[in-house]
Structure 1
Amino acid sequence: MTLIHALAEFTSGLSADRLPAPVVERAKLCLLDYIGVGLQSDRYGTASTRRGTQELLAVLRAEGASGDSIVLGRPERLTPSNAVLVNAYLGQSTSLDDTAVRSMAHVACAVVPTILAFAGPAKADGREMIAAIVAGYEAMIRVGRAVMPGLAKRGFHVTALTAPFGAAAAAARLMQLDATKTASAFGIAGNLGSGVQEALFRSYAAGKYAVGRSAQAGVLGALLAREGMAGAPAFLEGPEGFLRAMSDEVFPHLVTDTLGEEFEIADIGFKFHSGCRHWHAAVDAIEDIRGERPFAPADIEAIHVETYGEALRMNIDHPGSGDEARLCTPFAIAQSLLGEKIIAGDVFSDEQLQRDDVRALMERVTHSLNPEFERRYPLDWPVAVAVTLRDGDVLRAARDRPQGEPGNTPPASVIAKFVDMAGGKLGEERTQAALRFVRGLEDAEDIGPMLAILSDRASAPTREESRNDALA
């Protein structure tokens, strides 16, 4: 049996009734987190991603892409595949989306938009929705683990390259495709994903589109498989297959090892800082130090961060823009020391980057590779921080993982994040209604009420108006 067929047998046969209770609860947390993050893209995205949303919607309107699928917090209705594209973009634009510790992929932004677009047409209930979430997470993370970290070392963007598998698994599960057709969906979709890190580093808004397009590829793969198209049976492990094409270091066994015994969604981390996940633990360690002994930025002589190789590779020490600053550890540390809440898009602005006090603190931050931390990564994302004060004292703290990881963050913190973010867009009443719905998702017979809560039709253009706009 090939790898994609073994994976397809598992994902197509998933039932929420047979999932462990902690896995069901984790799936609901992932759904809540994505909704909150996606709803606040206008508030917490950077200027470039806010423009990117408008540019994307303008293109889709011109193409006559109106349909029945919702766009989070907006009045537009789009065709299902285009709703996947836009909602995936919204879910990433704040850099607050969830992270799979063991593959480094941001998973919700590919899987959940697919489910929001197709659960309605599939007449899925809450249990089907939960099964589709878990299926998408399993497929996307396991394929990523099989090619990481080599895929990233080649310059590919792991979220974009694995999104087709997550979206295909979720869509196929909602469409109730059997294992053979689900395997074909993987083989078709996996051939269509794309995304390189240069685009993400240097053209942040444009780079974020890749995941949406790759999620669309997953949807297309499932639709074509449903119609009878067959994908390559050994798409992953074949001599010219995905694994060997994408990475010099491949681990095929990770696609199927412990399948059904250990669930990848259980190891998902949630972000409480915006920006690159690789610097979060360093900022958390700085905050730990200041919690033990308060000090002012003017008291600092130097800060040194020991970390692992991928964190150094992803870091941009001298960012040229606010967008690039999302990948800069010294910038994030400076913002934290100056009392900024590293969550709003305005923190990552050109104006913030040019501030004299920010620049002065950035110049005091250095970092280096710790071989032991490199050995432990990616099962841990460890850092050790040393702050040298002008009086000669050296203050130290270490973190194995950033805040938001399983084991160091209670579900209540993720729910509080959702309430804070969703409340700014939906208002308290609708936010609480959405929270109640997701908490009781396994008992929901119809997800239509949730979709209605999450959209905003007050100023929605009619299909005729959209058609006229496209022809104008």
Structure 2
Amino acid sequence: MTKSVSERLADFVQRATYENLPKEVVHQAKRCLLDTCGAVIAGSYHSTSGKIAQNYARSLEEPPKATIIGTDIMRSPQTAAFANGIAAHALELDDGSRHATYHPGSSIIPSSLALCEAEGKTARDLITAIAVGYEVSIRIGKSMNPHHYLKGFHPTGTVAHFGTTAACCQILNLSVEETINALGLAGSLASGINQYEIDGSLVKHLHPGNAARNGILTALLAKEGLTGPKGVIEGRLGFCHCFSDRYDISSITKGLGSEYDILSIYFKPYPSCRYVHYANEATLNILKEHPLTPEDIDQIHILTHQNAKQGSDIPDYQTVLHARLSIQYGIASILVRGKAGLQEYTDEAIKDPKVHEIAKKITIEIDPEIQKLYPNPRSMIVQIKDKKGNIYSSRVDYPKGDPENPMTDEELIDKFIDVTEGVISKKRQAEIIENTLHGSPDAPVRSLMKLLSF
């Protein structure tokens, strides 16, 4: 009898060990760990969502088993994963997969850290869990995107559930049958819609936190014997059928165990939606050759793909989250201030009338040729017309952070130091970098979590 997709994924999760993972996969998982720790630390301190999650956690009376990062409090692993997942996504600093249209780090790593801490696991267990969680979820995500996203779902809330569940099953050493059941449960808990794109509400940040919490929940329930459908992914009433108009089931298990999608992850140099990065980079390319001022600008036109148009065409941004999603805001901030970093995404910064003025001059159009190529590459062309009628253009296919244009370990370290500056000391920064990138596989995860408690 042919095995279901979840049965084959469960086999992969159950067989995976630190020792049999390719070295480059182990190293990439460590890079993702460092990058996500930076995102959580920054989000726990700088974001409204992170503070709300901390306050919610404080209100609960639970056994102190896992750390709420950026505080000195401990709660259940589910609550810690929930709060840390929200903080990880709150500043749009988290890693992503362009093929799955999804941010895996902000849910998989918080759930893995919390459960490993609670269970007394080592870095070996943590890195293995991260690797299998990324693999399972990215494969499911890329099989059904961009159609899943264009239908209105947020894969960082939906697809993420399969990644956190796989990671948690690996940490708890569940059997194949238990893992199948856990994945079956994950499909029913998966949720997250993109209506926040319309008004800039903070609910977007809830999605990875919810997935992080539910990954632990599904694994624990399956361990206790709760069952889920084996055909949860490909079944007639399964996840792919219900959540997308088009999907490719065969791609989910093709090359499973020999080809690793974690190696295709991108990392973010800017605290904004990934589509904004293309626009920022193209604008900077133009300014290098033609040092235009805001007063020189007549109009700006963008050619790109449908996903970027749907998710990031926001000329009239209303909130900081809205601005982080807005191509118009990213470009305008660079033209007015020369940058679009953390300090440019505050309540005060987004009210700048000079930036608003430029943003209103930017239009976005879906280009048929670019759409044909999606998702590799996810190109964007920025065309700036000055008041003399000159048009300056730049096309970006692979912005900084893509595997085709990667951030080195040194660049990821620089990013970590930059986003955590003023939040933790230089000594603690160095210790976290050492523990994540170069620590012993036998090191207890609790040692890392002590560094993340402050």
The bucket for the TM-score relative to the shorter chain is over 0.9
Matching of residue 168 in structure 1 with residue 170 in structure 2: no
Q: CA, structure 1 residues 58+359, in 2 after alignment: closer, same or farther (shift >3 Å)?
A: closer
| Structure 1 position 296 matched with structure 2 position 282 | no
Aligned ranges 1:224-303 → 2 under 5 Å: 224-303=221-300
Q: Give the residue type in structure 2 aligned to 1:303.
A: I
Query: In the alignment, what sits opposite 2:19?
Result: 17
* CA contact 1:33–1:97 (8 Å) conserved in 2: yes
Distance 1:67 1:202 in 2: 37
Please, which runs of 5 or more residues in structure 1 have no aligned partner?
457-472
Decide whether the 8 Å contact of 1:44 with 1:343 is kept in 2: no
Aligned to 1:441, which of 439, 442, 446? 439
Counterparts of 1:7-406 in structure 2 under 5 Å? 7-45=9-47, 50=48, 52-65=49-62, 67-199=64-196, 201-202=198-199, 204-314=201-311, 315-339=313-337, 341-344=339-342, 347-406=344-403
Aligned partner of residue 119 in structure 1, secondary structure: helix
Q: Give CA-to-partner distance per residue, 1:143-187, whole Å, 9 cap, x none.
A: 111221121122111110012111111111111112221111110
State the identity %.
Answer: 28
**Counterparts in 2 of 1:410-429, with a 5 A limit?**
410-429=408-427
- Report the CA distance between 1:440 and its aligned residue: 2.2
1:172 aligned partner, one-letter code: C
Residue type of the partner of 2:382? Answer: V
- What SS does the aligned partner of 1:318 have? coil
- Structure 2 CA distance for aligned equivalents of residues 243 and 235 of structure 1: 8
Structure-2 change in CA distance of 1:385 and 1:54 (3 Å): closer
Alpha-carbon distance change, 200 to 429 in structure 1, aligned in 2, over 3 angstroms: same
Which protein has greater RCO, CA pairs closer than 8 Å, 6+ apart?
1
> What TM-score do the two structures reach when normalised by structure 2?
0.94
User: SS at the partner of 1:161?
Assistant: coil
Mind listing any 5+ residue stretches in structure 2 that lack a counterpart? none
Partner SS for 2:389: coil
CA distances 1:279-320 after superposition (whole Å, capped 9, x unpaired): 210110111111233222222222211100110011223223
Alpha carbons 1:323, 1:349 under 8 Å: kept: no
Is the Cα–Cα contact under 8 Å of residues 45 and 51 in structure 2 kept in the other structure? no
Amino acid at match of 2:151: R
CA contact (8 A) 2:200 2:318 kept: no
Q: TM-score, normalised by structure 1?
A: 0.91
Residue matched to 1:466: none
SS at match of 2:64: strand
Kindly state the Cα deviation for residue 11 of structure 1 after the two structures are TM-superposed: 1.8
Q: Matches of 1:76 and 1:237 in 2, distance apart? A: 41
The Cα of 1:340 is off from its aligned counterpart by 5.1
After TM superposition, the structure 1 stretch with the greater mean CA deviation from structure 2, 89-98 or 396-405, is 396-405
Compare 153-162 and 200-209 and name the one that shifted more.
200-209
Q: Counterparts of 2:227 and 2:353 in 1: how far apart (Å)? A: 59
Residues 338 and 18 (structure 1), Cα distance of their counterparts in 2 relative to 1, 3 Å cut = same
| CA-atom RMSD in angstroms | 1.8
Contact 1:243 1:250 in 2 (8 A): yes
Alpha-carbon distance between aligned partners in 2 of 1:213 and 1:201, rounded to the nearest angstrom:
21
SS in 1 for 2:159: helix
- Deviation (angstroms), 1:402: 2.2
| Structure 1: distance between partners of 2:247 and 2:334 | 38
8 A contact 1:303–1:385 mirrored in 2: yes
Secondary structure of the residue aligned to 1:305 is: strand
- 1:34-53 deviations in whole A, cap 9, x for unaligned? 001110115543xxxx1x33
Distance 1:129 1:322 in 2: 33
Partner of 1:454: 452
How many residues are matched? 450
Structure-2 residue corresponding to 1:469 = none
- CA 1:16/1:169 → structure 2, altered by over 3 Å: closer, same or farther? same
> Is 2:1 aligned against 1:3?
no
What amino acid maps onto 2:180 in structure 1?
A
